Amino acid sequence: MTSATHYKGFDQFGSVTFHLGAEPLVKALNGSAFDLTYMKAHEAVDAFPYEMEGLDAYDAIILSDIGSNSFLLPPEVWLHSRTVPNRLKLIKAWVERGGGLLMVGGYFSFQGIDGRARWRKTPVEDTLPVTCLPYDDRVEIPEGATPEIVAPRHPIMQGLDGDWPLLLGVNEVEVRKRAEVEVVARLPEEHGGHPLLVLGAFGQGRTVAWTSDIGPHWLSPAFCDWEGYARLWKNILGWLTKSAG
> Is the Cβ–Cβ distance between 104 and 198 less than 8 Å?
no
Q: What is the pLDDT of residue 19?
A: 82
pLDDT of residue 1: 85
Regions of the chain short of the pLDDT cut 50: 244-245
Statement: the pTM of the whole predicted model exceeds 0.85? yes
CA 245 centroid distance within chain: 21
Buried b (16+ CB within 10 A) or exposed e, 163-178: ebbbbbbbbbbebeee
Q: What pLDDT was estimated at residue 245?
A: 39
Which domains does the chain carry? 21-240 (3.40.50.880)
State how far the Cα of 142 lies from the Cα of 197, in Å rounded to an integer: 20
Cα gap 173→123, rounded to integer Å: 16
Which pLDDT does position 243 carry in this prediction? 62
Contact 81, 74 (CB under 8 A): no
